[in-house]
Each structure stands twice: as structure tokens, then as C-alpha cells.
Amino acid sequence: MRMILLGPPGAGKGTLAGLLKDKLGLLHISTGDILREEMKKGTPLGKDMKAYVDRGELVPDSIITKIIEGRISEIKPGQGYMLDGFPRTETQAKNLDKILAKLKQPIDFALCMESSLPVVLERLTGRRVCRGCGALYHMTNKPPKAAGKCDACGGEIYQRADDNEKTIRNRMDVYTKNTQPIIDYYKKQKKLMKVNGDQETDFLFQELTLVLNENKRAHKDKVGR
Ligand code: AMP
């Protein structure tokens, strides 16, 4: 299964991806994680992209497309994956279609997780991440057992530089302007599925399972199998 996770920052794409990775064995490819890794290592790419990421602005389409093309080319044929944070513009969506058409491995569907600004603000201002393994925490809803230390690997827990209210509001504006239109792009391709990202992860996962099963049934009806 090859899928795209769409939705505003804080809709729970990363959390859901963690679950799907375990339950369905899908690879999780997050362009935000790739950029943060480059920034952490201090590579030329990381240095060039830092200003965009810190302000919550989109990095140029050509650069992010090259990154994702490289990453997809490393995936073994038949291995399912989830793209998280890509595509974010219509140009990126079209570039992705071209890359996947060459490989004869089109995307199966785009899952859109809708979420409202108050929920996004509450989730992201409280979000903390492990520097070591990337595990996600929330200062109110899911704090680590020992302050500042990851439960899973003992790594240092930090707050992303772009998880502050001013930048979150900017990221939401950027999402509405650039990423909302690609929801229509996948709707026209009949690949769009929607779930409510405001709900707790367990409920979200249940809703997703229902939506996936319905989709499988509809597909069977359509092709008569
Ligand atoms: P995320 O972790 O998905 O919230 O991404 C963090 C930041 O990385 C975004 O605010 C952008 O600055 C940058 N970024 C990630 N993915 C993309 C993309 N597909 N296109 C442009 N910029 C991106």
C-alpha cells in the first residue's frame, strides 16, 4: 500500500504513521524529519533550508522533490509506504505522479486528516520530541515518565523550534493557501479519503480501519472481484 498523509500541522499525521508502521509494516517517510536530520548534521542542504523550516515557510518545490525522488528510489519494489508532509503544493503532487508513473507504482490513496486551529495549537505548543528515536510526547496528555528523558531510549526530549504559537499560525496559513488545493487534486483522481484528525489516536485508527475497509469493498465492487 502506498499512501499520502495529508492534513494541517498537528492533525496527528506523525502519530498515525507510527501506528500504521507497526500494524501494517509500512515505511514512514516524513520530509520534515529528513530536513531536520540534515539540519542536525549541519549539511549544506540543512544549512540552506533552516531559515525556511524555522519560519514555517515551504522549502522550494525543486529541492524537496529531488529529496523525495532519491528516497523513493531506495525503496524495494512491493514495500508499502506512507508519505508524511509531501506533497505540500500542487507542483509537488504533479512531480510525485511523474516520479511514480516512471516506476509504474502509483499512489493508492491520499488520506486527509482534518483538524481545527484550537486543537492544532493545543497539540503543537505542548508537543515534545525525542532527539534520539523521534518518539512523540505531549507535556499535558503524554508527558515522559522522567522529565526531559525519552521513555523508550533515554534520549533528550526537546521542543521543535517551529512549535511556537506564532510559527504554528503561519504554518496553518501556509497549509490553507498551498496544501488545501491538493485535496481537490486527489479528489479528482478519486483517491481521497477523509478522517477527523481532532479525535484521539485510538478513535482515529478505528475510523481509518473502517474507511479502508469501505474503500476495499468499493474497489472490489468496481472491478468485480
Ligand atoms: P513537518 O515536520 O511536516 O511539519 O515539516 C516541517 C517544515 O519542513 C515545514 O514547515 C517546511 O518548512 C518544511 N517542509 C517539510 N515538507 C515540505 C514540503 N513537502 N515542501 C516544502 N517544505 C516542506
Q: Decide if 160 is catalytic.
A: yes
Q: What is the pTM of this model?
A: 0.87
Ligand 1 midpoint to CA 194 (Å): 21
Q: What are the tens digits of pLDDT across the range 184-213?
A: 999 999 999 998 888 887 888 888 888 777
Cell 478505528 identifies what position? 206
Distances (CA, A) of 160 to 55, 74, 136: 12, 28, 11
Cell 526530549 identifies what position? 157
Residue type, 98: K
* Backbone angle region of 9, left / alpha / beta, with phi > 0 → left and psi within -120 to 50 → alpha: beta
Residue 79 confidence (pLDDT) above 60 = yes
| pLDDT top residue among 79 and 214 | 79
pLDDT for the residue numbered 207: 83
Ligand 1 midpoint to CA 34 (Å): 9
Catalytic residue among 2, 36, 123, 127: 127
| pLDDT top residue among 193 and 219 | 193
Cell 493545543 identifies what position? 122
Q: What are the tens digits of pLDDT across the range 49-76?
A: 999 999 889 999 999 999 999 999 999 9
Residues having CB closer than 6 A to ligand 1 are 9, 31-32, 35, 52-53, 56-59, 64, 85-86, 88, 92, 162, 171
Q: What are the tens digits of pLDDT across the range 86-143?
A: 999 999 999 999 999 999 999 999 999 999 999 999 999 999 999 999 899 999 999 9
Q: Decide if 88 is catalytic.
A: yes
What does DSSP say about strands 136-138 and 127-130: parallel, antiparallel, or unpaired?
Answer: antiparallel
pLDDT for the residue numbered 225: 46
Q: What are the tens digits of pLDDT across the range 16-41?
A: 888 888 888 999 999 999 999 999 99
Catalytic residue among 13, 36, 123, 128: 13
Residue 2 confidence (pLDDT) above 50 = yes
